[in-house]
């Protein structure tokens, strides 16, 4: 059995994601260019995120659309709140299946606000003054 590429979206995952995406109806008059399929565009976004290739160098031969198109679609979905809703839906599904285990968790300080204030007093005054010169400390 062939191994699935990391940017390929399975039918099962697509069934969860597709209802969360905003719907776009084509105009009857002056419809313009047909919009690239959302699933293909999502795979283009995942390809860029997985490989680290720059958006403008996304290979057209892969059929995901252009890099700027994928980037704009990603921004559109972000603005519509798709990613927060997808996270909620996936976590709800994992909770319902009793598949979440929080016995080990990591918190990244870049995403969690550091609270000000301490329960214990500070160590002492800084040995450097506000002018950047060393303070004379007598022992």
In this structure, is residue 65 part of a structural domain? yes
Q: Taking the complete model, does pTM exceed 0.85, yes or no?
A: no
Token pair listed for 23: 């719907």
Query: What band does 86 get if pLDDT is binned at 50, 70 and 90?
Result: very high
Residue 112 lies in a domain: no
Does residue 80 belong to any structural domain of this protein? yes
pLDDT exceeds cutoff 80 at 138:
no
Domain range spanning residue 85?
A: 1-17+36-100
Distances (CA, A) of 57 to 34, 39, 45, 54, 138: 22, 19, 12, 5, 62
- pLDDT at site 14: 96
Give the Cα separation of 70 and 51 in Å (integer).
14
Please check whether residue 23 is in contact with residue 38, taking contact to mean a CB–CB distance below 8 angstroms. no
Burial 81-108 (b: 16+ CB within 10 A, else e): ebeeebeeeeeeeeeeeeeeeeeeeeee
Give the contacts of 49 (CB within 8 A, at least 6 positions apart): 7
Distance of CA 24 to the CA centre of its chain: 23
In a domain, residue 10? The reply is: yes
Residue 122 in domain: no
> 21-78, pLDDT tens digit by residue?
999 888 888 888 888 999 999 999 999 999 999 999 999 999 999 999 999 999 999 9
90: in domain = yes
Q: Is residue 70 part of a domain?
A: yes
Looking at the predicted structure, is the pLDDT value of residue 122 above 80?
A: no
What's the structural domain count of the chain? 1
Report if residue 131 sits inside a domain.
no
How far apart are alpha carbons 96 and 85 in whole angstroms? 16
pLDDT at 107 (0 to 100) = 74
């Amino acid at each position: 059995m062939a191994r699935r590429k990391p940017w390929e979206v399975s039918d099962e995952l697509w069934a969860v994601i597709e209802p969360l995406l905003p719907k776009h109806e084509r105009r009857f008059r002056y419809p313009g260019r047909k919009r690239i399929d959302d699933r293909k565009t999502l795979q283009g976004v995942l390809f860029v995120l997985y490989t680290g290739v720059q958006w403008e160098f996304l290979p057209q031969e892969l059929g995901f659309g252009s890099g700027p198109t994928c980037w704009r679609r990603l921004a559109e979905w972000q603005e519509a709140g798709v990613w927060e809703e997808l996270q909620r839906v996936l976590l709800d599904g994992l909770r319902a299946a009793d598949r979440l285990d929080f016995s080990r968790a990591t918190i990244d300080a870049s995403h969690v606000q550091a609270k000000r204030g301490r329960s214990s007093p500070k160590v002492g005054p800084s040995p450097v003054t506000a002018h950047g010169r060393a303070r004379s400390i007598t022992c």
